[in-house]
Amino acid sequence: MSRYGKISFGTAKASTKPVRKIPMKQTLKQRFKNWLMRDDADESISIVGADEGPSLHSDDSLRFNIYRASGGMIIETRKYDRIKDINHTRLHIVVDGEDLGSSIGKIITMEALR
């Protein structure tokens, strides 16, 4: 017998308490990401926008700008040549008496043939 009393090996049970998980403190970058990516189902306002980034530019894209002018419309077409790194810009005039839809169809056909 030892001076500490009778010690039995194997009969003592270790008491384990459940460990409480403390969440790590988020960085400012993580908080911004969570704020931007959250899914607000109750938000009734939806904003629709167009991105003019590189995802909209492809090799064969044709861009239109339509301007109102006195006596008709001016249609500007732009096409980017990636090999030469040049924007080709052309202007087309549609008079008030002409049908705008058929004129745009003709312009698209002419630009596709070039």
Instruction: With beta carbons less than 8 A apart as the criterion, state whether 75 and 91 touch.
Output: yes
What does the pLDDT look like over 19-68, one tens digit per residue?
A: 777 777 888 888 888 888 876 645 555 555 655 555 555 666 788 899 99
CA distance 92 to 76: 6
Q: What is the pTM of this model?
A: 0.48
By three-state DSSP, how is residue 34 classified?
helix
CA distance 75 to 77: 6
What are the boundaries of each domain within the chain?
A: 59-113
What does the pLDDT look like over 74-100, one tens digit per residue?
A: 999 998 888 888 888 999 999 998 998
